[in-house]
Amino acid sequence: MLGHFFNEAVAILRKAYPDKTQHLTGVVECNVQGYSSTTYVVTFNDGDSSYDVILQLRKPEHYLNISVLETARGMLGDLVPAARLLMEYEQPRGGKLLAYEMSRIPGRCLAEFSAKRKYVDCLPVTAESLGAMLGKCCVPGQTTPPEFKRSVRNRLQNAVNSTDPLLAPYLEDFRELLDTQQVLDCLPMAISNGDLQFSNIFVDETGRVTGLVDWEDELHQPPLGFDLCFLQWLLGDFRALLAGGGQYTQYPNAAEIEERFWGGFFAHLPPAVHLTNTFIAELELAMRFGAAFFHTIDGKCNLPSCIGLLRLQLDYTIPIQRLGLNMRPPQQPA
Residues 190 and 305 grouped into a single domain: yes
Residues 62 and 42 grouped into a single domain: yes
Output the domain CATH number for residue 151.
3.90.1200.10
CA distances from 119 to 142, 172, 180, 207 (A): 37, 36, 38, 7
Residues 176 and 305 grouped into a single domain: yes
CB neighbours of 204 closer than 8 A, spacing ≥ 6? 106, 107, 210
Whole-model pTM: value is 0.93
- Tell me the per-residue pLDDT of 18-63, one tens digit each, with 9 for 90 and over: 999 899 999 999 887 777 899 999 999 988 889 999 999 999 999 9
Residues 237 and 135 grouped into a single domain: yes
Comparing 39 with 330, which gets the higher pLDDT?
A: 39
Residues 116 and 89 grouped into a single domain: no
Cβ–Cβ under 8 Å, residues 204 and 210 = yes
Binned at pLDDT 50, 70 and 90, residue 331 comes out as low
57 inside domain? yes
End position of a domain, from candidates 102, 121, 143: 102
Given a cut of 50, whether residue 318 has pLDDT beyond it is: yes
Identity of the residue numbered 234? L
Cβ–Cβ under 8 Å, residues 11 and 89 = yes
Cβ–Cβ under 8 Å, residues 87 and 16 = yes
- Tell me the per-residue pLDDT of 182-209, one tens digit each, with 9 for 90 and over: 989 999 999 999 999 999 999 999 999 9
Cβ–Cβ under 8 Å, residues 101 and 86 = yes
- Domains identified in the chain, total number: 2
End position of a domain, from candidates 81, 102, 123: 102
172 inside domain? yes
238 inside domain? yes
CB neighbours of 152 closer than 8 A, spacing ≥ 6? 181, 184, 289, 293
CA distances from 49 to 22, 25, 56, 325 (A): 14, 12, 23, 48
Residues 236 and 126 grouped into a single domain: yes
273 inside domain? yes
262 inside domain? yes
- Tell me the per-residue pLDDT of 124-174, one tens digit each, with 9 for 90 and over: 999 999 999 999 999 999 999 999 999 999 999 999 999 999 999 999 999
332 inside domain? no
1 inside domain? no
Binned at pLDDT 50, 70 and 90, residue 79 comes out as very high
What percentage of residues in the chain have a pLDDT greater than 70? 97
Identify the domain containing residue 21 by its residue range.
6-102
- Tell me the per-residue pLDDT of 223-256, one tens digit each, with 9 for 90 and over: 999 999 999 999 999 888 877 767 899 999 999 9
End position of a domain, from candidates 44, 69, 102: 102
Q: How far apart are CA 326 and CA 205, in angstroms?
A: 33
- Tell me the per-residue pLDDT of 115-125, one tens digit each, with 9 for 90 and over: 999 999 999 99
What percentage of residues in the chain have a pLDDT greater than 90? 83
Q: Return mean pLDDT, the chain.
A: 93
Output the domain CATH number for residue 31.
3.30.200
329 inside domain? no
Residues 19 and 97 grouped into a single domain: yes
Q: How far apart are CA 188 and CA 3, in angstroms?
A: 39
Where helices occur in the chain by DSSP H, the ranges are 6-16, 66-76, 110-113, 119-136, 146-160, 171-179, 231-235, 238-242, 254-267, 277-295, 308-314, 320-323
What phi and psi, each to the nearest 5 degrees, are found at residue 203?
A: -135, 160
Residues 66 and 199 grouped into a single domain: no
What phi and psi, each to the nearest 5 degrees, are found at residue 219?
A: -85, 120
Residues 139 and 59 grouped into a single domain: no
Residues 63 and 182 grouped into a single domain: no
- Tell me the per-residue pLDDT of 87-106, one tens digit each, with 9 for 90 and over: 999 998 889 999 999 999 99
Dihedral angle at the C-alpha atoms of 124, 127, 130, 132, nearest 10 degrees?
A: -80
Given a cut of 60, whether residue 332 has pLDDT beyond it is: no
| pLDDT for 334 | 45
Residues 84 and 171 grouped into a single domain: no
Residues 46 and 117 grouped into a single domain: no
